[in-house]
Structure 1
C-alpha cells in the first residue's frame, strides 16, 4: 500500500492496512517520513515503513539566469539573502568596534581619530549595502514573479507545454513528482508485491511505474487506485499556477494503468468513470469507522473533562482538519447566538495559523471561554470520545469535493449517535434529510447554523431515532466496507 503522508493521521489508510493483514494478506504500507530517517512500526499484522522524501527537483525556469529580464538580480534567491545578511554582519561588526572604543574610555582626540579611521569602512559598507539592497530587491521580485507565473510569457509557456506534451506535461510543470518515485521505488521493488494499492492521485504514478518495472521483468502486478477526492475540485495544496494542471495530467496519464479503481462515494465513482473513460464504475468503499476494532486498555479521554464542563452543559463538536472552508469560523461566530453552548474543535494542528485566528476571533466576540481546541485521539477512540458531545458539526463550505461524499466525520458522528448539523452540501444534506438524523443549515451563515443547533438541542431524541435502525449503522462500518475492498483484491488476483 502506498500513501503520500505519515499514515498516523490517515484513518482510511490505517484501516485498509490493518484489515487486509487481519484477512491474511501480507501487507507493507509505505508512507512519508516526517524527517530524514526511515521510521517503521507494526499496525496490527501490517508492516509500516515511512521513507524519507527530499524534494530536490525544480522547474527549469526556477534555475534559469534572470539576467536577460532583470540584469541586477542574483541568479538564485539564496544568493540575495546571503549578500543582504553579510551587509548586516558588517554593520554589526562596526557597531561592536565603536562600542569597544567607548568602553575603553580613551581620550577624546584618540577616540576621534579612531572614529575617523572607521569612516572609509563605514562608507564602503554603506555603498555596498545600497548596491546589494538593489540587487537583492530585484532578486526577490524575480522570485515572486516565478512563483506567481502571471506574466504573458509565463502563461504562454505553460500553455505551450500543455499543448505540445498533453498529459505528459507534468514533467515540465511539476517535476517534483519524480521525487516521490525516487523515494519509494526501491522499497516497492524489494518487496516484490503481487498487488499495489495506491492511495490518491500522486501515488498513482508511483504504483503504475512499479507495475511497469515488474512487467518488464516478467512478473505480473495488479494496481488498485484508491481515489479519495475528485482532483479537478480539490482546494489546492500548492498555490503555484502550474501545480494543479500538472497533477491532473499526471493522474490522466497513469489512471489507465489501474486494474481496478475504488473511491469513497457513488457520485465520485460516476465522475471518475466519465473523466477517465473507465470500463467499469469504481467500487465504492466508504471511509466508515472500524467499530469492531479492539484495543486493550485504550479508553478515550473524557471530552467533557478536557473542556472543563459537566454532563448538563450543551456541547457541539467538530472533528477533522482545521481550515477556513470547513466552517470553523462560522461556528465561532454562532456562539454569541447560542447562550451557554460550548464548542470543541478536535484538530490535528492546534497551533496552526488558522487555529490562532479562530482563537483570536473567539476572544474578539467574547466567547473564548466556551471554545476548546483539542488534539486528535487514536482513530479507534474517536467514536466513544465524540459520543460525549450533544451535536456533531459539519458546516463545510461549497467546494466540489465537499458535495460528493459522506465524509469520515459523518460516519463517526453517526456511530457516536450524535445528531448532525450539516451545511447544504449535496450528498450529506440529502442523507440527513432522508434519515432525519440532523438538521441542514445554509453554508457560511452563522445565524442559520445557530438555528439548526438550537433545533437539535431542543429535541435531541427525535434526531437520535434514526440510529435505532441497526442496518443503517451496520452498513456504515469498516467491516462491511473492507469486505468490498478485499473482494476487489481477490477478483484481481484470482
Structure 2
C-alpha cells in the first residue's frame, strides 16, 4: 500500500492496511516520513514504513534565481541571507560582552566610566554593527518580497501551461508539476525491493509510483496487479490561488497512469460513476466507504472516552451542536456561529484539527462580537477509535459544507461517525448528502450558507430529536455503514486480481442480513 502522507491521521488507509492484514494478506504500508528519518511500526498485522522524501524538484527554477529587476538588493536564494543574519547577531553579541568587560574594568579601577582608545574603538564598531544590521535586514526583506512576488498564476504561467499541454498532452506534468518525481525517487526503489504481487495506490500522487513499478516489473517478467484508490475527484479540487500549473499538472499525471490500473476503488457511488466516465474505465470502480469499525462504536465500552459535555462545561439538558473535522472556510462553520443568537441556550462544539488556527480564531472573535463566545467551545481531536462514542454526547451533528464539486458527490467521514453516534443531522444541501438525509429521515437539510434556513433546520431537530434518531432503527442501515462491510469489498478486489493467492481466513465482521448497499461514500 502506498500513501503520500505520514499514515497517522489517515483513518481510511490505516483501516485498509489493518483489515487486509487480518484477512491474511502480507501488507506493507509505505508512507512519507514527516521529519526526514525512516520510521517503522506495526498496525495490527500490517507493517508500516515511513520513507524520507527530499523535495528538491518541488521547488521551481525561479526560486533559485535572483530577482535582479524586481528586488536588486535582495540576497541570492542560496542560504546566505540566514548566514549573514546570524553572523550579525553573533557580532553584536560579542560587542555586548566586550562592552560589559570594559565597564567592569573601569569600575574596578575606580575610573567609574570606561574611556580611552579601546572604548572609542568599541563605540565605533557598535555603530558599524548597527548599520550592518540594518543593511542585512533590508536585503532580507527584499529577498522575502521577491519570494512572495513571484507566483505561478500570471499570463506567462498560463501560456507556459498551455504550451506544454499542447506539446506533451498528459505528459505535460513533467514540466508543470516536476515535484511528483520526488515521490517516485523516494518510493520507487523501496517498492522494487519489496517485489509486491499487488500495489494499492492511494490517491492521485501514488498512482504514478505504482504504475511505474508495474512497468519495471513487467520488463523483468513479473506481474504486479495495480489497484488505484481514488479518494477525491481531482479536477474538482480547489486549485491553489498562486499556482496555475498545479492542478493541470496533477490531472495530467493522473490521466497518464490510470490506464495501468487493473482495478479502481473509490469513496462514493457518485464518484465511481464520475471516474468511470472521466477515464473511460471498463468497469465501475468498487466503492469502499470510510465508515467506522465496529469496535469504534458506542456499544464498545472497552476504555473510557472523554465526555464532550464535561469538556464544554454544560449539563445533559443543554442543546449541543457539534462539528467534527477539518476547520476551513469552505467547510462553512461560520453559519453555526452566526446562528447562535437565534438559538437561545444552544451551545456549539468545534472538534477540529487545529483549534488555534487563524480561521478558528476568527470564528471565536465573531462569536465575541455577537455576544455568544461563552457558548462556543473548541475541542481537539480524540483518537479515531473513540470518535463515535465521544460525539454521541452531543444532541445534533452538523455538516455545513459549502458547494464544491467534491462536496457534492460524497458522504464525508463525519456523516458516518454522526450516524453511528445516533445523532440527528443538520446538513447543507450538497447533493449526495442532502439526498441521503432526506431519504433516511435522519435529519434536516438547509441551504448552504443561509443562516435563517440553518436556524430553521436546527430548531426542527431540537423540537423532536427522537423522531430523527428513530431513522437509525431501520434494519441494515447502520450495518452497511461499518468498516467491516467495506473490508469485504476490499478483500474481494484483491482476491479477484490475485486468484492464485494461497487460501486465507474469511474476513471477520460479516454485514448483517439486509445491509444497505454500499453505493454512497466518503470524502476527506
TM-score by length of 1: 0.90
CA distance, structure 2, for counterparts of residue 380 and residue 129 of structure 1: 53
SS for the counterpart of 1:355 is: helix
Residues 1:59 and 2:60 are matched in the alignment: yes
Q: 1:141 to 1:373 in 2, by over 3 A?
A: closer
Name the structure 2 match of 1:348: 353
Segment of structure 1 superposing worse, 86-95 or 196-205: 86-95
Residues 1:337 and 2:342 are matched in the alignment: yes
CA distance, structure 2, for counterparts of residue 455 and residue 223 of structure 1: 48
Name the structure 1 match of 2:84: 83
CA distance, structure 2, for counterparts of residue 299 and residue 108 of structure 1: 69
1:443-490 deviations in Å (ceiling 9; x for gaps): 223333222212101111111221121222222222222222222222
Residue pairs, 1:152-231, within 5 angstroms: 152-231=155-234
CA distance, structure 1, for counterparts of residue 385 and residue 294 of structure 2: 7
SS for the counterpart of 1:256 is: helix
Segment of structure 1 superposing worse, 12-21 or 474-483: 474-483
Among 391, 399, 402, which residue is 1:397 paired with? 402
**Shift of residue 236, structure 1, vs aligned partner:** 4.4
Checking the alignment, whether the CA contact within 8 Å between 1:84 and 1:133 is kept in structure 2 is yes
Name the structure 2 match of 1:143: 147
Checking the alignment, whether the CA contact within 8 Å between 1:291 and 1:380 is kept in structure 2 is no
CA distance, structure 1, for counterparts of residue 153 and residue 14 of structure 2: 41
**How many residues in Structure 1 have an aligned counterpart in Structure 2?**
493
**Shift of residue 226, structure 1, vs aligned partner:** 0.7
SS for the counterpart of 2:79 is: helix
Checking the alignment, whether the CA contact within 8 Å between 2:296 and 2:386 is kept in structure 1 is no
CA distance, structure 2, for counterparts of residue 376 and residue 69 of structure 1: 45
Residue pairs, 1:416-455, within 5 angstroms: 416-455=421-460
Unaligned runs of 5+ in 2: 500-524
Segment of structure 1 superposing worse, 316-325 or 292-301: 292-301
CA distance, structure 2, for counterparts of residue 354 and residue 230 of structure 1: 25
Checking the alignment, whether the CA contact within 8 Å between 2:153 and 2:243 is kept in structure 1 is no
CA distance, structure 1, for counterparts of residue 334 and residue 258 of structure 2: 37
CA distance, structure 2, for counterparts of residue 69 and residue 386 of structure 1: 53
Name the structure 2 match of 1:407: 412
**Shift of residue 288, structure 1, vs aligned partner:** 1.7
**Shift of residue 381, structure 1, vs aligned partner:** 2.3
**Shift of residue 124, structure 1, vs aligned partner:** 4.9
Segment of structure 1 superposing worse, 67-76 or 55-64: 67-76
Q: 1:293 to 1:27 in 2, by over 3 A?
A: farther
Checking the alignment, whether the CA contact within 8 Å between 2:14 and 2:43 is kept in structure 1 is yes
Checking the alignment, whether the CA contact within 8 Å between 1:77 and 1:139 is kept in structure 2 is no
CA distance, structure 2, for counterparts of residue 163 and residue 223 of structure 1: 29
CA distance, structure 2, for counterparts of residue 358 and residue 257 of structure 1: 45
**Shift of residue 346, structure 1, vs aligned partner:** 1.8
TM-score by length of 2: 0.85
Name the structure 1 match of 2:247: 244
Q: Which structure would you say has the larger RCO, counting Cα contacts within 8 Å and 6 or more residues apart?
A: 2
CA distance, structure 2, for counterparts of residue 127 and residue 373 of structure 1: 47
Segment of structure 1 superposing worse, 437-446 or 404-413: 437-446
Residue pairs, 1:11-22, within 5 angstroms: 11-22=11-22
CA distance, structure 2, for counterparts of residue 140 and residue 469 of structure 1: 59
CA distance, structure 1, for counterparts of residue 351 and residue 134 of structure 2: 50
CA distance, structure 1, for counterparts of residue 134 and residue 471 of structure 2: 71
**Shift of residue 306, structure 1, vs aligned partner:** 2.3
Name the structure 1 match of 2:4: 4
CA distance, structure 2, for counterparts of residue 438 and residue 357 of structure 1: 28
Segment of structure 1 superposing worse, 53-62 or 218-227: 53-62
1:65-97 deviations in Å (ceiling 9; x for gaps): 544776544331633344355445555655665
**Shift of residue 155, structure 1, vs aligned partner:** 3.8
Segment of structure 1 superposing worse, 133-142 or 267-276: 133-142
Segment of structure 1 superposing worse, 427-436 or 114-123: 114-123
Residue pairs, 1:380-391, within 5 angstroms: 380-391=385-396
CA distance, structure 2, for counterparts of residue 302 and residue 145 of structure 1: 48
**Shift of residue 191, structure 1, vs aligned partner:** 2.3
**Shift of residue 186, structure 1, vs aligned partner:** 3.2
Residue pairs, 1:72-151, within 5 angstroms: 72-76=73-77, 78-87=79-88, 89-90=90-91, 97=98, 101=102, 104=106, 111=115, 116-118=120-122, 121=125, 124-125=128-129, 128=132, 132=136, 135-146=139-150, 148-151=151-154
**Shift of residue 98, structure 1, vs aligned partner:** 5.2
Residues 1:283 and 2:272 are matched in the alignment: no
CA distance, structure 1, for counterparts of residue 135 and residue 200 of structure 2: 55
Name the structure 2 match of 1:472: 477
